[in-house]
Amino acid sequence: MTGFAHPAAAQAIDPPPAGISAGPIQINRQAVTDPTVRSIYAKAGWHGVWSTANAEAFDSVLADRTRHGLDRVAFLPTSNEQAATAAAGDIARTKAALDYATALARGRTDPTALHQVYTLPRPTADLPAGLTRALAKGDLAAWFDGLAPQDAEYKALSDAYVAFSAKATVAAPVQAIPSGLIRVGDRDARVATIVEQLVESGYLPAPTKAVSMLYTPEIADALKGLQTDYGIAADGVVGPETLKVLNLGAGDRARALAVGLERRRWLSRTPPATRIDVNTAAAQLRYYRDGTMIDQRKVIVGEPGRETPALSSPIFRLVANPTWTVPKSIQNGEMANVGEAYLAEHNMVVRDGWIVQQPGPSNALGLVKFDMANDQAIYLHDTSAPALFERSQRHLSHGCVRVEDALGFAQMLAQDEGVAEAWQTAQDSGEMTFVPLPRRIPVRLLYHNVYLDDGGKVAFRTDPYGWNDPIAEQLGFAKASAKRAEAQAIDIGP
């Protein structure tokens, strides 16, 4: 049995429970300070809980942690830190097993400590009891395998992480490609480097002859694939946003995948079968009905500095022809110096010190608002500026979520929930009218900058809010070199 340095004195108290072959190791109560670890040894009668076979099984489990993006985290002390006390080794192994189980079941990091607002429900599990049972049955590998998410997306991200991690260990460091536009037909010294990056990332087959400086239609077509995967306008032109991505290497992608795996471990393993998922990193909405995705559309979400928070919050009613009460932060900020002419032009009035925009197609909320139950004043809504949905970078709002063809989406929800007639009447009234839903529709505001696209392929996005860094660092990665999205003031809407 491998031991670890710890001032633990042997002390026999009670016999170990049936099923655990603890051997002669006895544990001093004072040597165990972690309350969760103490609960395991208390139930074991303060005897060691690790047989040689279980210890070897756990070592094998830890050796396979790369597929969860946790290979940079040292859960057990290194061999250089090992010492003579078998009891200390037993305690250290129990602590490591619980730490690793927690990382798989709930995440290595705590999202509520990383985000000012985080209300998505996290998984719950009695890990000490589960570990005790697995030790008794000798099925540690199966128990650990069942803790992480079991869905196809997690498996795909896991496979991609393993592949990009392997590439990163053998690939030469990426040489940053200098800025400047390149279009089809241009001759440019950077073309060879761009081709090299596209080949490395799997968008082009390896060339059979030397690459010239000519930027060909074939190279542009390959670049369009990369642009599509990263949410950039797929025009085949090498521009600033595309260069940010081309300058990413396999290690950068592995880092993003590790963070993506971690974020999915934060989530409940059984999401509501009928729900709306908004991916704020990709500015995309997906509507699931009875476990099947039946609709997908673009959204506009909060700009950096006014980020859309990570929330779980249901839609409880539709609002036809909404008014918009301008928040004081906007009223005292962007609108601090507006006059009567501006208010009249934008169909606004002042009521009790608040600026209120009246219903109509020019209203910042558009013609429908999806009221959500949360204390952050975050909701889904229509917009009076639909042209913004054509942008590849759609982090433009003050935090709320603008939905593409929101009227069509509202009609879909009303039909599905059996209130289509009431909704049509509310729309036709021209006045602000509330249409309660017979049941609340859960909405999850997620931040996933790696995910599976419609074809089941891993798609990447940049890290527009810069939220990956603190997670990646706790997973053992260095800070990212890639730039985050830049705020672009477009309008004053929510």
Catalytic residues: 381, 400
Query: Which of 164, 168, 223 lies closest to 191, judged by CA?
Result: 223
Angle between helices 420-429 and 406-416 (to 10 degrees): 140
Name the DSSP class of 26: B
Which single residue is written with the structure tokens 């990426």?
A: 174
243-275 as b/e: b if 16+ CB within 10 A: bbbbbbbbbbbbbbbbbbbbbbbbbebebbebb
Which residue has tokens 């590998």?
141
Amino acid at 128: P
Nearest CA-CA partner of 352 in 325, 333, 375, 321: 325
Residue 330: in which H helix or E strand, if any?
A: helix 328-331
C-beta neighbour count of 70 within 10 angstroms: 24
Tell me, what DSSP letter sits at residue 431? S
Q: What is the dihedral of CA 23, 28, 33, 34, to 10 degrees?
A: 20
- Residue 357 is classified by DSSP as E
Where does 106-216 have alpha helices with state H? 111-114, 127-137, 140-145, 152-170, 191-200
Q: Of 43, 44, 50, which Cα lies nearest the Cα of 21?
A: 50
Q: Return the residue matching tokens 């704020």.
A: 280
Contact 49, 132 (CB under 8 A): yes
Q: Which residues are bridge partners to 298 per DSSP?
A: 284
In angstroms, the CA 125 to CA 314 distance is 25
Report helix, strand and coil shares of the chain as percent, to nearest 5. 35, 15, 50
Closest CA to 299 of 281, 316, 314: 281
Distance of CA 415 to the CA centre of its chain: 31
**Tokens 């074991």, residue?**
44
Q: Which residues have a Cβ under 8 Å from the Cβ of 95 and sit 6 or more positions away? A: 34, 37
DSSP-derived secondary structure for 74-123: --S--GGG--S-HHHHHHHHHHHHHHHHHHHHT-SS-HHHH-S-B-----
CA 39 remoteness from chain centre: 33
Amino acid at 156: A
